[in-house]
Chain A
């Protein structure tokens, strides 16, 4: 991120997000155990997905797969769509996004505000339904589209290997001992994990996933019952933690009232996982990801039934 008086493009604002210490919700931990969250909501598109989206688009441009006349197409349950819509707008490429019809109204409006087109798949089919419909759209007009394909594109984890991981290492002065984050495409955990393991192979890489196939943790996947993303290699994880939707929601509410951080449900799940690890150790520095802020979920079940 530029620290000067101006920035050449909104895309130069992607990354270099702040790392904040969790205090109130970690007050029962020993002094030597510290928990930090990386606030990815500070990215210009409002989520962690700006990083892989930008790297995938840049990779497509470099390889000539995306060039003038092409439209960016992908399936997304939300944040990747917003990121691609922003990037497409900034670079002058049209964007079409396939997403389940039960995505929140805020998401539809944000994506439309960037000028992107939404193609709806059945909410009953979840994100896998969007993946399948997107494949059909592409098959019907393959020359029209550039599909970043976040589930199978190595430029997704690479974004985190090049940026998120080194930032965490730097921001903790190399003290990080555990990295805990949710499994969606697997991009964040694969890439950040690879970078951190290169700095220090002893750093534990721990995945958070919904405890059941039927869950309400937007952006996260229950791998055993999902189409497993091609970029996800479970053997690179040291551990996986199953997290319940309701405990994640409760954590989101506590983060708002006790820490002053209103975030999305995946952030709540990530902190539940991070605190589980924190309670097991006597000393260490645990870093997790707060994927986005909570504003874009105000109309969803997370808040609507409060």
Chain B
């Protein structure tokens, strides 16, 4: 089963309007690279020049913020759901 990556509205211009895209990879970082290969432009919105997740971007694996897991090294497996959420209007999902 592929891994589903949910795309926020402001980034859907890169996915032809799709709300979620399928991707494969063993970590969140690998997923981002895989998504970038098919939807160029997404990675630089999510990561800064040093390759780290931008401060205002939250990435969740099954609802958990990867900052509290292993950041981009967080392992993922088939069936996981990844969400990319801009920190506009706050940041935490508490």
A interface, CB within 8 angstroms of B:
77-78, 99-105, 107, 123-129, 212-218, 222, 225, 245-246, 249, 297, 299-302, 304-305
Contact = CB atoms under 8 A, between A and B. Distances in A.
B57 A216 contact: yes
B18 to A, nearest CB: 12
Nearest to A226: B10
Contact of B85 (A102, A128, A249, A305): A102
**Category for how many chain B residues contact A:** 20 to 34
A99 B88 CA distance: 11
A104 B92 contact: yes
Given A124-B19, A216-B88, 10 more contacts: A78-B90, A100-B88, A100-B89, A123-B93, A124-B6, A124-B85, A215-B56, A216-B54, A218-B89, A304-B92
Interface in B59-94: 67, 83, 85-94
13 contacts: A77-B89, A78-B89, A101-B93, A102-B88, A124-B9, A126-B8, A126-B86, A213-B10, A216-B56, A246-B48, A300-B90, A301-B57, A302-B91
A195 to B, nearest CB: 29
Which interface residue of B11, B19, B54, B57 has the most chain A CB atoms within 10 A? B54
A152 B87 CA distance: 25
A102 B13 contact: no
Interface of B: 6-11, 13, 19, 45, 48, 54-58, 67, 83, 85-94
Contacts of A78: 89-90
B55 A225 contact: no
A126 B94 contact: no
Contacts of A99: 89
Contacts, number: 115
A102 B89 contact: yes
Given A212-B45, A299-B94, A246 B89 contact: no
A103 B89 contact: yes
| Shortest Cβ-Cβ A-B pairs, 6 listed | A216-B56, A104-B90, A300-B91, A213-B10, A301-B87, A77-B89
A67 B94 CA distance: 35
Nearest to A306: B55
A305 B90 contact: no
A218 B6 contact: no
B92 A222 contact: no
Nearest to B48: A246
Contacts of A123: 8, 85, 89, 93
A125 B8 CA distance: 6
Contact of B54 (A100, A222, A246): A246
A218 B88 contact: yes
A249 B92 contact: no
A36 to B, nearest CB: 27
Contacts of A214: 8, 10-11, 45, 57, 86
